Amino acid sequence: MATQMAGSAPADEPAGVPGPGSTSSRLTLEDRVELLRTMLLMRAIEARALTLYRQGRVPGSFYDGFGQEAVSAGAAYAMGPRDRLCPLHRDLGAHLVRGVEPARILAQYMGRASGVTGGRDGNVHFGDPAVGVMGMVSMLPDMMCVATGMAMAFKLRGEARVALTFCGDGATSRGDFHEAMNWAGVQRLPVVFVLENNQFAYSTPLAKQFAVDPVERARVYGFLGVTVDGNDAEAVFEAVRVARERALGGEGPTLVEAVTMRMHGHAAHDDMRYVPPELLAAWAQRDPIERQERRVAELGVDVTALRAEVEAEVEAAAAEALAAPMPDPADAARGVFALGEAQSLGDGRAPWSGFATERTTAEAPA
Ligand SMILES: Cc1ncc(C[n+]2csc(CCOP(=O)(O)OP(=O)(O)O)c2C)c(N)n1
Ligand SMILES: [Mg+2]
């Protein structure tokens, strides 16, 4: 288990710009392009949303995962259709992998009726149950408890399924983090915790947050903690794929620390003057999208065309979202309270080629 300190790059990363080599033998070229496409889509949607926010069309504030695209895209890409996901405020890539359409996401940000929550909640607090994604609980890191509970249900029912969730470096200081880790360890639950170490929790740097890298804590709760380069989508995919396999094999949870950098302020209102410019400049050299572009371009993929395709898709999605109506106020309380039978979550898109070619235990009927 490697230990990362504030503002550092992963210890196993050579100095300078990383090379184009693949970090997982399980990915076809189509998979590698799909990872890039997901990250491009995430960045383009969030860039468009930031403009909409500045035009006053996005109520509240706006949070993004600029520079962190590899974490949610790579992690979600390793999950099967029947697995369940609990993404947080910087994990748009996970929603995209599961199949949530860009127009619904942009409509969500603007509180429109066609948004994922139909205008009932603000920008990042959403999840589409139809594709196996839980709506985000804002109190951090409560989604760790939710994912642990889901994994408990999978275990009790004897289902070969895994729950995936994320938490921030700052969230590791909260009690819920320890409660979830402890129970997951005691019960050897099929859950994967991705610790999104982006160097800051609002304005608090890592050095003021903990004395020991929190990935070390996995061991004291009785399970494995691994550190991965969070700016490498393929490395994140591989770490989560292995963690999922372990979970399905009855080996319990894994804490995957993805080391990355929050390249924007905490939210759109934050000018992050507390972040040293040289730190940002160093991380800009390690942009996850540029890295993936270099890899697939070397293999003959036209990344300029792919970028143009994604830009056009997001522009069309923005037009669709802008044309969508605001919700009917009379409808405000619908779906807020549970009435009658609980609705089960549906299965999501799982585009990794490994699910099509290998019949994994996760796809066996429960
Ligand atoms: C229990 C709780 N306290 C405070 C907040 C307000 N808040 C939202 S995001 C955030 C920063 C969290 O930092 P970190 O866990 O590192 O995640 P990051 O935003 O860096 O991804 C804070 C303080 C919250 N959502 N929940
Ligand atoms: Mg953080």
Cβ partners under 8 Å of residue 173, min gap 6: 201, 209, 210
Q: Token pair of 136, please?
A: 């985000």
Q: CA–CA separation, 113 vs 326, rounded Å?
A: 5
Give the predicted TM-score (pTM) of the model: 0.93
| Ligand 2 centroid – CA 139 distance (Å) | 14
Q: CA–CA separation, 241 vs 238, rounded Å?
A: 5
Token pair 């894994």: residue? 254
pLDDT-derived band at 121, boundaries 50, 70, 90:
confident
pLDDT digit string (tens) for 332-356? 888 888 888 888 899 999 999 999 8
| Ligand 2 centroid – CA 330 distance (Å) | 38
Q: Percent of the chain beyond pLDDT 70?
A: 91
Question: What residues line ligand 1, using a CB cutoff of 6 Å?
Answer: 90, 138-140, 168-171, 196, 198, 200-202, 262
Active site residue 266: yes
Predicted local confidence at residue 343, as pLDDT? 83
pLDDT digit string (tens) for 133-188? 999 999 999 999 999 999 999 999 999 999 999 999 999 999 999 999 999 999 99
Cβ partners under 8 Å of residue 308, min gap 6: none
* Angle separating helix axes 29-54 and 69-77, nearest 10 degrees: 140
Task: Single out the catalytic residue among 26, 57, 266, 294.
Answer: 266
Which ligand has the minimum distance to the alpha carbon of residue 167? 1
Q: CA–CA separation, 202 vs 191, rounded Å?
A: 27
| Ligand 1 centroid – CA 75 distance (Å) | 20
pLDDT digit string (tens) for 279-299? 999 999 999 999 999 999 999
Active site residue 274: yes
Task: Single out the catalytic residue among 32, 262, 264, 295.
Answer: 262
Identify which of 46, 125, 140, 202 to mutate to test ligand 1's pocket (most ligand atoms within 8 A of the CB): 140
Which ligand has the minimum distance to the alpha carbon of residue 166? 1
Identify which of 198, 202, 261, 275 to mutate to test ligand 1's pocket (most ligand atoms within 8 A of the CB): 202
Predicted local confidence at residue 14, as pLDDT? 35
- Number of residues that this document lists for the chain: 366
Number of H helices, E strands in the chain: 12, 7
123 pLDDT exceeds 90?
A: no
Active site residue 188: no
What strands lie across the sheet with 163-168, from one edge to the other? 84-86, 163-168, 191-197, 254-259, 224-229
Q: Token pair of 22, please?
A: 């693949």
**Better-predicted residue by pLDDT, 359 or 305:** 305
| Ligand 1 centroid – CA 261 distance (Å) | 15
Q: Which atom of ligand 1 is nearest to the CA of 171?
A: 15
